[in-house]
Amino acid sequence: MKTVPENAPIAPAVRDQAIAWFSLAQSGDMSVEEHQQLQLWRQAAPDHERAWQRLSGIPLQLQQRARQLNNPVARTALQQTRTPTANRRQLLKAFVGFGLIGATAWQSRDSLWLQGALADYATGTGERSHHTLADGTQVWLNTRTALDVRYSTTQRLLVLRQGEIDILSDSHSDPRPLMVHTTEARLRALGTRFNVRSEPNGHGTLLAVSSGQVAARAMAAGIDQLVPSGQQTRIDQYGVATPQPLDQSTTAWIDGFIVAQRMRLGDFIAELSRYHVGVLRCDPQVAGLQLTGSFPINNIEQIFALLEKSLPVHLQRRTPYWITVTARG
């Protein structure tokens, strides 16, 4: 029987089911039949048990703060999450609000897992999606993206928790300003189409404006800087960088491609790894090789075959989830 690596990804649907079962188990009012159904669910597939074990790291904190679960607000949130989709965000936000899920309970590998469960819109690894919001604004989500939508009577706010989005909006159709917030940036759309990418590990926010213009500023301080159509920039804790000409390949992901123009292989593999389930690395020995072309992100195995055919490289596969691009022997 093939062993599934502990760090192998877990599908969002399985995660959501685990959250629903976990919430019901913690509510303290499971029936005998429900206990039996939970055991059958855990035994149905290896990923079910792995998802359950990830969530089982939380009870140590729950035991220390069990009295708070008797709070009517918390119990209501728990008991409303008997289905795996509709109320899972309410449940998890109750956990967060009561301090039952925190940095000590979730390791870095689970960050995307939790963000996706909390977000209004989310994509897993390799997934892309398109949504039309209540005001007609269109939003495309790239791989590993978590987005919250907070509309009120005075503003339309999109909070990009992680990942990358492309937005098409007509500012003249709604008097409320359309804002996009990331960890580092505050963006205000001015009748435009633009792309926003939140880089991991505090490396800033990338903004690319295809039409119209966007007022950008650092979240910490500063004044708005207008970024016009055909320009792109980076926003970090220090401010807004000087805009540069737009790289037209920035939004190729919407059409399902990575476009490379004399791109270093190391940079290409780093970009491709965003769409690959598991670990994908490039040996420094071949990282400086260059490649050009359009590569379909819906067929990563085809990309691997093209790399081995066109470059002096070999794919070293430790497991299906751990691949390193090395020099051909």
Mean pLDDT of the chain: 80
> Is the predicted pLDDT of residue 265 greater than 60, yes or no?
yes
pTM (global) more than 0.75: no
Helix (H, G, I), strand (E, B) or coil at 311: coil
- Please compute the mean of the pLDDT values over residues 150-166 and round it to a whole number: 94
- Please compute the mean of the pLDDT values over residues 247-256 and round it to a whole number: 94
- The confidence score (pLDDT) of residue 207 equals 97
pLDDT over 70, % of the chain:
73
Start-to-end CA distance of the chain, whole Å, equals: 32
pLDDT band at 158 (very low <50, low <70, confident <90, very high): very high
- The confidence score (pLDDT) of residue 329 equals 78
6 vs 127: CA distance, rounded Å: 22
Residue pLDDT, tens place only, 55-90: 766 544 443 443 344 334 333 443 444 444 444 555
Residue pLDDT, tens place only, 45-60: 888 888 888 776 654 4
Residue pLDDT, tens place only, 102-123: 433 333 444 555 566 667 888 8
- Please compute the mean of the pLDDT values over residues 233-253 and round it to a whole number: 93
pLDDT band at 299 (very low <50, low <70, confident <90, very high): very high
Q: Which of 273, 289, 293 is nearest to 326 (CA)?
A: 289
> Is the predicted pLDDT of residue 95 greater than 80, yes or no?
no
324 vs 316: CA distance, rounded Å: 5
pLDDT band at 26 (very low <50, low <70, confident <90, very high): low
Q: Which of 175, 212, 216 is nearest to 193 (CA)?
A: 212
- The confidence score (pLDDT) of residue 191 equals 81
pLDDT over 90, % of the chain:
51
pLDDT band at 16 (very low <50, low <70, confident <90, very high): low
Structure tokens at 16: 């959501």
169 vs 183: CA distance, rounded Å: 22
pLDDT band at 36 (very low <50, low <70, confident <90, very high): confident
- Please compute the mean of the pLDDT values over residues 270-282 and round it to a whole number: 92
| Comparison of pLDDT for 178 and 83, the residue scoring more | 178
- Please compute the mean of the pLDDT values over residues 236-249 and round it to a whole number: 92
- The confidence score (pLDDT) of residue 116 equals 62
> Is the predicted pLDDT of residue 93 greater than 60, yes or no?
no
- Please compute the mean of the pLDDT values over residues 143-154 and round it to a whole number: 92
Domains of the chain, CATH where assigned: 12-118 (no CATH), 123-248 (2.60.120.1440), 256-327 (3.55.50.30)
- The confidence score (pLDDT) of residue 28 equals 66
- Please compute the mean of the pLDDT values over residues 127-131 and round it to a whole number: 94
Dihedral sign for Cα atoms in the order 150, 154, 155, 159:
negative
CB 195 within 8 A of CB 251: yes
Residue pLDDT, tens place only, 308-324: 999 999 999 988 888 99
Q: Which range among 41-50, 180-189, 232-241, 291-300 shows the weakest confidence by mean pLDDT?
A: 41-50
Q: Which of 257, 255, 253, 251 is nearest to 293 (CA)?
A: 257
- Please compute the mean of the pLDDT values over residues 239-263 and round it to a whole number: 94
- The confidence score (pLDDT) of residue 236 equals 92
- The confidence score (pLDDT) of residue 170 equals 78
- The confidence score (pLDDT) of residue 212 equals 94
